[in-house]
Amino acid sequence: MKSVRDINVSGKKVFVRVDYNLPMDDQGNITDDNRIRATLDMIQWLREKEARIILASHLGRPNGVRDAQFSLRPAARRLSEILGIEVRFADDCIGAAVAKLVDDISPGSILMLENLRFHKGEKKNDPAFAKALAELCDVYVNNAFAVSHRDQASVTGIVSHVKTAGAGFLLEKEIRSYYDAVEHPKRPLVAVIGGAKVSSKLAALENMLKFVDSLIIGGAMANTFLNAKGVDTKGSMVETDLLDTANAIVRTAEAKGVELLLPQDLVAAETFDKDARCDTVALDGMPDGWMALDVGPETAKAYAQVIKGAGTIVWNGPMGVFEMDRFAKGTQCVADAIAGASGFSIVGGGDTGLAAKKCGIADKVNYISTGGGAFLHMMEGKTLPGVAALE
Ligand code: 3PG
Ligand code: MG
């Protein structure tokens, strides 16, 4: 992958794909601007080189039509506040009016384009749309790790239409952090994988078994493993079609000498509700009709112990329904252990980034990825289309 560092960007029109798909509240206020902050070093570097900077992103899933609630204007405003300079905004991302605004960008200045997904061609990776984007610039830079698992016009299609393309600082940093952690880890390497479904993490579980020394499993997906081992999980969420798969993962772990940790006790609740009656139960003590919503305290303690001894920790997925305080203790305990561990820690983004933030450890881990789906893609051992396009 060619690095932007090796490209002459001075005075050039540089199209930088960023991922400013930011979480917003109902009033359209940005609730977390991490994905902007993660691109600042790249932007400052380009400004110092006197590049003429075009920033492009998607926001949400507007389905190829213009929709004011998905406008990137608030992101442009926030970037402008953070940098303390004007960030101009184009009402569209292709076309003659946009090209005119691009021509007017002075060296070191920034123009942000409107949401790429207001055009159907973005998601469809339509060559004509990709070409229209490419025509705006001299150089293309992918600095959008978090969307690089998408085969879309501004991520992959554009590359074949530009003369010069390279990877931005954030894309490089994300990939390096992940590979350093997983493929060249300080051992023992411990993966902590949680979340609701085995099905959505299956490929990641199977791939991680090739690398890890210990695999810690939590969240509702642990129920499927427990059920497969014969535990009566009562009203808990279980993917009954994946019981054999769960057993196969357990066997593979055994064959490879990977320590696989499953819950020893659970926090169970009568209903899926933040005020539900709940209790800590042994694996054989789940009341009829109740459901597991968190790992129990003995489990959390055991998981913390393994994390404490790790040389490297990769965390993806909460241990329970952490959005509800009474079912957040398992996740909190694991998060605290990760924050306190001396090993190198890397946290997959999306839900897990939010969990790290809610648990107050976001600044105590070594690396939090800006990617959710993209990070999972890496854990699955797949090459990101956005990276492949640059290779
Ligand atoms: C994300 O937040 O997952 C990325 O920005 C990609 O967005 P998408 O899942 O809508 O493609
Ligand atoms: Mg996504």
Q: Rounded to whole angstroms, how far apart are CA atoms 33 and 35?
A: 5
pLDDT at 298: 98
Assess whether pLDDT exceeds 90 at residue 134: yes
Residue among 47, 66, 131, 197 flagged as catalytic:
197
372 C-alpha to ligand 2 centroid (Å): 6
Assess whether pLDDT exceeds 90 at residue 27: no
* pLDDT tens digits, 185-233: 999 999 999 999 999 999 999 999 999 999 999 999 999 999 999 999 9
The sheet carrying 367-368 orders its strands as 259-261, 214-217, 189-193, 312-316, 344-347, 367-368
pLDDT at 273: 97
The bound ligand whose nearest atom lies closest to the alpha carbon of 61 is 1
pLDDT at 197: 94
Strands 52-56 and 87-89 turn out to be unpaired
Phi, psi of 54 (to 5 degrees): -110, 120
∠ at Cα 70 (46, 106), nearest 5°?
25
350 C-alpha to ligand 2 centroid (Å): 8
* pLDDT tens digits, 236-295: 999 999 999 999 999 999 999 999 999 999 999 999 999 999 999 999 999 999 999 999
Specify the pTM. 0.95
The bound ligand whose nearest atom lies closest to the alpha carbon of 371 is 1
Residue among 60, 64, 373, 381 flagged as catalytic:
373
265 C-alpha to ligand 1 centroid (Å): 35
Measure CA of the first residue to CA of the last residue in the chain; give whole Å: 5
350 belongs to the catalytic site:
yes
373 belongs to the catalytic site:
yes
Q: Is 77 left (phi over 0), alpha (psi -120 to 50) or beta?
A: alpha
Q: Rounded to whole angstroms, how far apart are CA atoms 346 and 349?
A: 10
pLDDT at 257: 98
Residue among 219, 350, 353, 372 flagged as catalytic:
350
pLDDT at 278: 98
Atom of ligand 1 nearest to the CA of 373: 3
Residues with CB under 6 A from ligand 1: 19, 21, 61, 146-147, 150, 372-373
Q: Rounded to whole angstroms, how far apart are CA atoms 104 and 27?
A: 33
Mean pLDDT of the 99-118 span? 98
Residue among 35, 49, 78, 117 flagged as catalytic:
35
Assess whether pLDDT exceeds 90 at residue 351: no
Q: Please, what is the average pLDDT of the chain?
A: 97
Residue nearest to atom 2 of ligand 1 (CA): 21
* pLDDT tens digits, 9-24: 999 999 999 999 999 9
Tokens linked to 188: 């023992």
User: Among 17, 63, 145, 150, which is best to mutate for testing ligand 1, by the most ligand atoms less than 8 A from CB?
Assistant: 150
Atom of ligand 1 nearest to the CA of 150: 11
Assess whether pLDDT exceeds 90 at residue 60: yes
